[in-house]
Structure 1
């Protein structure tokens, strides 16, 4: 299923790509989200705002079958085959499927509760859940199961699990909360299966249900995470609700005043609306102070100056943003073309004397 869904993603992305050859080459390590987001969305990727605003909870089940690159697919497929074969030998096909599914759901819910990324996908949570359950079975399973799993070293398996988690901490873009959620769900289910008494099995099964239910409750509206406001804000912009987006960005900024993404997002929206331009400039300069080579942040500052009537300064900054980006993005092109006349659109009273 993972291979078939990746093939569909790849073919559809290639069909809509402006440069199919370049996209095919880059797909080895990354299918561009800009080109593939709609495909991922249609196939069931965990797009967090789709849960919060549209109630599409089925995505926590399907997202574990999708992958963002050929390398992602190959590595996860090798791991799934390696771990899954032993899980099937220990517990059979149906339990292996149930273990992968519940662990994958646990990982997806953990990513949702932690607001890990606007879109999360991959089988890693389910695989780590299987690995955790397998480790428990190798250490404390029945004599029959331990005999089946005798070729497996519990120490080596434990070290591999730790290495996977360490890589999640070291490499940006890896869904570490998803890894931990999947591992925890797998450990709880595996512990229920190796438990020797019925009351203990029932208690562990209940613990798993409470764990998944608790993550779902936290993930339904994770206002404890500032990233929640950023993800929802950008969804509001995509849905053409800029006023609602600005409210969300301001809430995020209140919770985390030093967050450069929120500073830039609020500044840019104020510039688009042509209001509070002095505040917008201060926020933009604050964001650039922390990340002076960010082309998007420079674009925001340039557009603010255009809106204030500082055409020469704004144009220079916009050109600098284009040079850093190497390829002008649509907003930047629009700002360069409209800088000279942007100040005329600013409501009365917002320009400096």
Structure 2
């Protein structure tokens, strides 16, 4: 299923790409979300705002079968084959499927509750859940299962699990909360299967249900996470609701005043509206202070100066942003030719 869905994603991405050869080469390490977001969305990727605003909870079940690059698919495929073979020997096909599914659900719900990224996908949560259950079976399982698993080492399994979690801490873009959620679900379910006493089985099964239910409850409205406001704010912008987006960005900024992304987002929306331009300039400069070569932040500052009537300064900053940017983005292409006339007054509206 993972291979088939990746093939569909790959072919559909190539079909809509202006440069299929370049897209095919880049797909080895990344199917650009710019090219593939809508495809991932249609196939069932966990797009967090779709759960929060549209009630599309089914995505937590489908996202574990999707992958963002050929490398992502190959690495997860090798791990799934390696771990899954031993899980099947220990518990059979049905339990192998159930273990992967529940661990994948645990990972998806943990990513939702932690507001990990606007879109989360991949089989790694399910794989880590299987690895955790397998480690328990090899370490404390009944003798019949330990005999089947004799060729593998519990210590080696533990080291591999720790390496995966360590990579999640070091490599940007890895869904670490999803890894932990999947591992926790797998450990609880595996523990219930290897436990000898009925009350232990029942306790661990109840703990698994509480884990999944608690993560779902937290993930429904994770207002404890500032990233929640950022993800919802950008969804509001995509849906053409800038006033609602500004409210969300301001709430996020109240909770995390030092967050450069929120500073930039609020500054940019104020600049678009042509209101509170002094505050917008202050926020944009603060966002740039720790990251003065960020092309998006430079674009915001340039556009603010254009809106203030400082066309020469604004144009220079916009050209600098264009020179720094690895890929030109539409807003920058609109701002460069429009800077000279941007100071024309816009219709003010009430701001939050």
Normalised by the size of structure 2, how large is the TM-score?
0.98
Cα root mean square deviation, aligned:
0.8
Once the 2 structures are TM-superposed, how far is the Cα of residue 203 of structure 1 from its aligned partner? 1.1
In structure 1, what is the Cα distance between the partners aligned to 2:49 and 2:302?
30
User: 1:45, 1:121 within 8 Å by CA — same for their partners in 2?
Assistant: yes
Match of 1:24 in 2: 24
Tell me whether 320-329 or 163-172 shows the greater mean CA deviation: 320-329
Match of 1:6 in 2: 6
Match of 1:275 in 2: 275
Following TM superposition, the consecutive aligned residue runs of length 4 or more in structure 1 with deviations greater than 6 angstroms are none
Once the 2 structures are TM-superposed, how far is the Cα of residue 197 of structure 1 from its aligned partner? 1.3
Once the 2 structures are TM-superposed, how far is the Cα of residue 347 of structure 1 from its aligned partner? 5.0
In structure 2, what is the Cα distance between the partners aligned to 1:330 and 1:193?
54
Match of 1:351 in 2: none
In structure 1, what is the Cα distance between the partners aligned to 2:288 and 2:186?
43
Once the 2 structures are TM-superposed, how far is the Cα of residue 296 of structure 1 from its aligned partner? 0.3
Match of 2:151 in 1: 151
Q: How many residues get paired?
A: 348
Match of 2:104 in 1: 104
Match of 1:321 in 2: 321
In structure 2, what is the Cα distance between the partners aligned to 1:168 and 1:151?
28
Match of 2:126 in 1: 126
Match of 1:84 in 2: 84
Match of 2:40 in 1: 40
SS of corresponding position for 1:343: coil
Match of 2:295 in 1: 295
1:178 has 2:178 as partner = yes
Once the 2 structures are TM-superposed, how far is the Cα of residue 326 of structure 1 from its aligned partner? 4.3
In structure 1, what is the Cα distance between the partners aligned to 2:234 and 2:267?
14
Equivalence map 1:43-58=2 (5 Å): 43-58=43-58
In structure 2, what is the Cα distance between the partners aligned to 1:125 and 1:322?
39
Once the 2 structures are TM-superposed, how far is the Cα of residue 328 of structure 1 from its aligned partner? 2.6
User: 1:230, 1:262 within 8 Å by CA — same for their partners in 2?
Assistant: yes
In structure 2, what is the Cα distance between the partners aligned to 1:310 and 1:300?
14
In structure 2, what is the Cα distance between the partners aligned to 1:97 and 1:208?
16
Once the 2 structures are TM-superposed, how far is the Cα of residue 107 of structure 1 from its aligned partner? 0.3
In structure 2, what is the Cα distance between the partners aligned to 1:254 and 1:275?
19
In structure 2, what is the Cα distance between the partners aligned to 1:290 and 1:247?
25
Segments of structure 2 that go 5 or more residues without pairing to the other structure are: none
In structure 1, what is the Cα distance between the partners aligned to 2:220 and 2:189?
23
Match of 1:70 in 2: 70
Deviations 1:95-137 (A, max 9, x none): 0000000000000000000000000000000000000000000
In structure 1, what is the Cα distance between the partners aligned to 2:59 and 2:328?
34
SS of corresponding position for 1:314: helix
In structure 1, what is the Cα distance between the partners aligned to 2:61 and 2:189?
17
In structure 2, what is the Cα distance between the partners aligned to 1:235 and 1:327?
22
